[in-house]
Amino acid sequence: MFAGFELDMIQLPEATLRVRYGGSGPPILLLHGHPRTHTTWHRVAPLLARRFTVVCPDLRGFGQSSKPIDADNDEASSKRAKARDCVALMKHFGFERFHLAGHDRGSSTAFRTAMDHPSSVSKLAVLDSVPILEALERCDANFASRWWHWFFFAQPHKPEQAILADPDAWYGGSAEAMGAENYRDFRAAIHDPETIKGMLGDYRAGIRVDPLHDREDRAAGRKLRCPVHVLWSRRDDMEELYGDVVSVWQPWTARPVTGVGIDCGHHMAEEAPEALAEELERFFTSKAVM
């Protein structure tokens, strides 16, 4: 897994992140979603590393990265805080400017990084997501019945109790589908109470803090300045919930948004790595510039 990559614990001003990195060329930062760790990229990162320097961290609160000291401080779990980690991490490697792709919850951190640090992000790819404020403002019975976990995970104490009673039954997954080493890393994460609390902090911030940041941006007329490419899983529910997924993103950007669906389920990096890597490589090597 990740042949030719290095693995390290990197201390940043606000967090210590477990990071896998390798390859050479223009830098790409890949951000995983919930409940995964950086190892979800194990089939995609080596393909991209043929042309890029690829950096894959466990997000703050996830995997083996550090957890917010005050776990009840939503700001410490906010996408804004994690965006600062992203910029600091890439500066650690000597990159002032980089391409960025995020999946699921990681896409929300990617969005916030590009919004708060426009001079740092060259291009942004968002996978299986819409802006958090858009999701909440469009919430109806269909969304609530499918994405009920957003609201349950934001509650105090009870989500930890429910998940930790049987993490394997709660999250599922298999070595056959995910790859043996990725599955072992995933299981270690979901069986760790501190990691469960750290991951839930991402959802608590997603209800209480992150939408406020989105709303402030919209009120101030701030938009993403870099090229944005949207990818979604055709066998997931993005099209059913939002119809034209690209159009949901367009008001948040100052440029035309591009996008395409990929024929797979939600965890596209594990289910369709070649198609995903090809799409990311095409976007990140295209002539569109900031």
Read out DSSP for 178-210?
Answer: H-HHHHHHHHHHHT-HHHHHHHHHHHHHHHHTH
Q: Which of 104, 202, 217, 236 is catalytic?
A: 104
Longest dimension (CA), the chain: 50
Direct distance between the N- and C-terminal alpha carbons of the chain, in angstroms, rounded to an integer: 34
What residues contact residue 78 under an 8 Å CB cut-off, 6+ apart? 112, 205, 209, 210, 213
Picking from 256, 224, 261, 241, the residue whose alpha carbon sits closest to that of residue 134 is 241
* Catalytic residue check, 34: no
Q: Do you know the residue count of the chain?
A: 290
- The single residue of 92, 117, 191, 266 carrying the catalytic annotation is 266
Contact 42, 32 (CB under 8 A): no
DSSP conformation letters of 254-277: SS--EEEEESS-S-HHHHSHHHHH
Q: Specify the residue for token string 């995964």.
A: 36
Q: What six digits make up the tokens of 225?
A: 């300045």
Residue type, 206: G
Residue 51 CA to residue 27 CA, distance in Å, equals: 9
Angle at 211 between CA 261 and CA 106, to 5 degrees: 45
**Catalytic annotation present for 266:** yes
Burial class for 7, CB neighbours closer than 10 Å (0-12, 13-18, 19+):
middle
> Active-site residue numbers?
104, 266
